[in-house]
Chain A
């Protein structure tokens, strides 16, 4: 067993005996493996440098309408069998769940095609190559203090079940970031792709340094409601949080989602459409969910109208709605939209800015959190590049501001969507991506400020 580089054949060889477990009515094994190299730098030198090889098998056992899960990172046959037995024991002691639909049957739900966003060269990148990339970034950063990461990684996911599910997909990631700092002024840029060749580290560095230079001598600006232009990095994080709090059918069923009472209604400006689409050219992910159901392209907001949540087998049966293939691996959390794409508009970011008479340009957010799920009310801080826009021009840098704002309210006030899409890695973990344009919103509420 070689952790971190499991082939489909190896997975089948390991998993097949478990699928025959006596006493179980259904057995499902999800196997994940990752090889990650992440070089971290700060104060213009490498401070941490990690290579990880990880592997894990998640076994779900059904006994009638009872089920339970167990996982292990020991893939030797005796450990896999012991883990399956633990899940079986747990399942037998669970209550019957009338909503448990059983394990998916591929004859009913279809067999997925892999997306295969694996780039061999990215998967095989070395610590030396990552160090050289960091050196190239720091050369552009020059006399600024540089901090960020250069990650290259490869990941594979497979699902096998006693009902005949048998699927495998794999992808690679390259994530690069630079925070440039000098005399208290900061600028930030990051980039993300499944291919390191598509990430221009010098362009990332130049953008961060330009932002830093434009942020010198920031001053306080009054709090209040502003027209804003959000850069793609800021939009992507808002999409990630919207997904987390309410794009899944479980949250809708529980009444806790912003879609619970507004399904079919206009929740955003008609220029805004959001889909979960793992096959978008900029997305990075896998072609099935964590019970092996094919991932459909699922509209969540279509031309401003709430279309509906993403579903898994259980929630699609409860709602009587289309199965989109978004099981998250957690019955407690429910389905999750991990590859959101906001459709592009027709204007460049510069054109969006040129139409703002008095507003703010936002680079990124820090520490966003949810205040109220049904209204998608959130709070968070700006950081690393916030400027005043006056008469269509970016003018003075301003101290960071705290927003307290319904994100759907901001989307409803949209005045323009940018034409250039950018991909971003999720804030935590290595699963999924967000693809977003710049966005001009007519109203965005800022409730307090800070001293930098």
Chain B
């Protein structure tokens, strides 16, 4: 394979590329979905292909194919250069890249038990047992369980001498209980919604989630939600669990601090950001308790890697320190635009087919102090919301609205009755400024989300977020039609 990639690289250089990188991605995945005792989907997928990215005439060109042979690699390198030259027709400022040392390395994410070596019998059995147990609870209509395993081997070579070979394995899964009455549907899931949770790990992560221990609880909560009162409409204190904090960080900090959005490069589709370049090191993004980092080095994160897809070594970069904006997520191109010395390494692409974009690696809210119980104890009248159910935010990442699966009313420092259809809305910097407590290390956990969309052609990325439960004051809740 190395020889083929070198052929593509040489073809691009011979055709006039000023810079080129060639990325081969070989992927294997398995997805199993079970409803009650029945397998609804059992899909195994594999693929391989190569993408060539070049700079020629000061503009980018990208060409990708699944046909991995010598002649095709030569054609691919030449095509990428031809595409770049077409781009240069409508380019006034040449693309510049900040320097990055050449890296030669082999990197693998840690795996204790290879999920692809675990028998299908065992996986299906685990899911069918859990989903059947859920469907066996009174009042439950649907019990679902799922597992997802993805392995990618990514080889990257560049004209600057980088040659890295990475193998990354992600494992995930979850269970879900749905109760229905008339035209009302209520769902509870564990450990999170939308197929559970994902980690850079092996089958040991699936075992650690211990599905059987949670089937009864989520089933009974789904049923209880049907007869629970609606979340009231008012301004109040809100405590959010770690899973909802994952989405809160993702939408209102992660995307807002991507430098390509700040620079307007995603304007027409995903949008821009309320954050401006001159906000750096002065803008009050949140309260002094709020510390958020972009961290591609943290153990277990699905945004953890050795090198990003333009060969920049993984880093940990502060984005918000004590409530002040101190950093952006960058690429080699955008770092050059803002005069930075080096990219902080957040360029990733979905597969070999796509041009790398700035994508969140693991954007983590650093832990504070105390427990969830402590956060609740300090609330006289408020609401605790758990497990994300819906999300929406404006094109500048300012006005957001989230829904959760379940909430509990807080009275005199204690969780009391269940509330259904909890939703809250806010304006990003106002909301983060109202943060007056973040739970400590013992409550902090890495989450993985499988479906972050960005770019055209559309790309889906797995993104990690470390979060702990947090408390916010004076939040608008109970948004209804």
Contacts and interface: CB of A to CB of B under 8 A. Distances in A.
Given A51-B83, A130-B86, A404-B479, A71 B46 contact: yes
B38 A97 contact: yes
Nearest to B49: A73
B48 to A, nearest CB: 7
B317 interface: no
Interface stretch (A132-140, A229-237, A302-310, A341-349): A132-140
A255 B43 contact: no
B87 A39 contact: yes
A93 B40 contact: no
- Interface residues of B, dominant DSSP: mixed
Given A48-B60, A369-B390, A374-B185, A330 B48 contact: no
Contacts, number: 264
A452 B476 CA distance: 20
A50 B453 contact: no
B395 A405 contact: no
A204 B421 CA distance: 41
A239 to B, nearest CB: 18
Contacts of B119: 93
A366 B128 contact: no
A450 B394 contact: yes
Contact of B44 (A41, A87, A131): A87
Interface string A270-301: 00000000000000000000000000000000
A332 B62 CA distance: 35
B457 A36 contact: yes
Contact of B264 (A42, A331, A384): A42
B224 interface: no
Interface size class of B (residues with CB under 8 A): 35 or more
Question: Which of A256, A383, A445 has the most CB atoms of chain B within a 10 A radius of its CB?
Answer: A256
Interface stretch (B90-98, B101-109, B201-209, B441-449): B90-98
B25 to A, nearest CB: 11
Interface stretch (A144-152, A192-200, A319-327): A144-152
A128 interface: yes
B61 interface: yes
B450 interface: no
Contacts of B458: 427-429
B481 to A, nearest CB: 5
Interface in B425-448: 425, 427
Interface stretch (A14-22, A156-164, A177-185, A352-360): A177-185
A371 to B, nearest CB: 5
B41 interface: yes
Contacts of A374: 183-185
Contacts of A87: 44
12 contacts: A2-B67, A3-B66, A52-B353, A69-B41, A91-B42, A95-B39, A131-B87, A181-B267, A366-B395, A371-B421, A375-B183, A402-B401
Interface of B: 33, 37-49, 59-67, 79, 82-84, 86-93, 119-121, 124, 128, 141-142, 178, 180, 182-185, 263-269, 271, 274, 353-355, 390-396, 398-399, 401, 403, 421, 423, 425, 427, 453, 456-458, 476, 479-481
Given A138-B90, A383-B271, 16 more contacts: A43-B265, A45-B92, A46-B59, A46-B86, A56-B47, A69-B41, A71-B45, A74-B46, A145-B267, A147-B267, A379-B401, A381-B395, A381-B399, A384-B395, A402-B394, A445-B481
